[in-house]
Amino acid sequence: MKADSNLEKVLNEGHFAVTVELGPPRGTDISVIEKKAGFLRGMADAVNITDCQTAVVRMSSIATAAILARMGIEPVMQMTCRDRNRIAMQSDIMGASALGIKNMLSISGDHQSFGSQKNAKKVFDLDSIQLIGMVKRLRDEKKMLGDGDLIQGDVPMFIGAAANPFAPPEEFRALHLKKKIDAGADFIQTQGIFNIEKFREWMETVRDMGLDKRCSILAGLIPLKSAGMAKYLTDNVPGINIPDSVIKRINGVPKERAAEEGIAIICESIEQLRDIKGIAGVHIMAIEWEHKIAEIAERAKLLPRPLV
């Protein structure tokens, strides 16, 4: 065991893992976190805490993750490379570990020009692959970057990375995934997958490279709330590939039934993803829809979650 986190144990024992997402509040109100976390309790093996997603200032992922850990719900602390240099990152990772956080996800982070602080100075001292390598070094060798000063204590961190199979350059994406695994990623969460057939083909490439044997791949899913959302995701979110058949389905129902159809679609997707060799679980990104996770998990037969 690398971190002895619940997520790691669930994956190690061969269960089909479930992770979900929780966005921290734009302020200090803990009750917002507690309420969202309440919807997610028992529904997933770990809960990703986003790190100022879309570059909008929110409560830190570390603090929110620590609050979840205190509630007995296991967090996956997301950490972007946008806002911290290697000094702050190592410091924050050690701090997170001391606060009982055992999973993290290394990502580049949305560019600052998207968010509420457009004129901020970006950092990107490390990229997400270098960040993975740095955490692995802290965990496995107890060494900091640079001269390799030894740290005191342990950094048991289960290391995650993101993958976006369908963003250009598409042919490079599996090779890029390999770099992340070479750097030390233990698990992967992908961009939202809608085109299961295309994803099946990509996984074939991934399996041919033996990557599924070297880390746990969780397929990302986004429940559609409306036809408008499907269009927005297609037009604006890189790597989101929604087949016409899915668009037709969500367009084909009355507006008030679109959300229900969206849930039906995601449940069917989960069913299909379960059968793809090399898929170790799903990562459900229900953006500001935490209260619908129970219904999705129930209908997709993801419950009860294993006790490990």
**Which residues would be at the binding site for other proteins (CB under 8 A)?**
81-82, 86, 107-111, 113-114, 122, 124-130, 133-134, 145, 162-164, 167-169, 171-172, 175-176, 178-179, 182-183, 191, 238-239
| Least distance (Å) between residue 252 CB and other proteins | 25
Residue number with CB closer to other proteins (6 or 48):
48
50 CB-contact burial (10 Å; exposed 0-12 / middle 13-18 / buried 19+)? buried
* Identity of the residue, 43 or 94, whose beta carbon is nearer to other proteins in the bound complex: 94
Min CB(147)–other proteins separation in Å = 13
Per-residue exposure over 178-201, b if at least 16 CB sit within 10 Å of its own CB, e if not: bebbebbbbbbbbbbbbbbeebbe
Q: What minimum distance in Å lies between the beta carbon of 213 and other proteins?
A: 19
Q: How far is the CB of 274 from other proteins (least distance, A)?
A: 24
To other proteins, the closest distance from the beta carbon of 166 in angstroms equals: 8
> Considering beta carbons, is residue 40 or 133 the nearer one to other proteins?
133
Of 124, 132, 57, whose CA–CA distance to 85 is shortest? 124
**CB–CB of 43/305 below 8 Å?**
yes
Distance CA 69, CA 40 (A): 13
* H or E, element range at 95: helix 86-98
Least spacing, CB of residue 229 vs other proteins, in Å: 18
CB of 114 to other proteins, least distance (A): 8
What number of other Cβ atoms are within 10 A of residue 15's Cβ?
15
Nearer to other proteins, 36 or 173 (CB): 173
- Reported as type and span, the H/E element at residue 250 is helix 244-251
Nearer to other proteins by C-beta: 23 or 239?
A: 239
Identify which of residues 176 and 207 has a Cβ nearer to other proteins in the complex: 176
CB atoms within 10 A of CB 269: 23
- Separation between Cα atoms, residue 224 and residue 266, nearest integer Å: 8
Which residue, 101 or 129, has its beta carbon nearer to other proteins? 129
Determine the length of the chain: 308
Radius of gyration of the chain (CA): 19
Min CB(255)–other proteins separation in Å: 27
Helix (H) or strand (E) holding 297: helix 293-299
**Nearer CB in complex with other proteins: 162/206:** 162
Degrees to nearest 5, angle at CA 176 with 213 and 208: 40
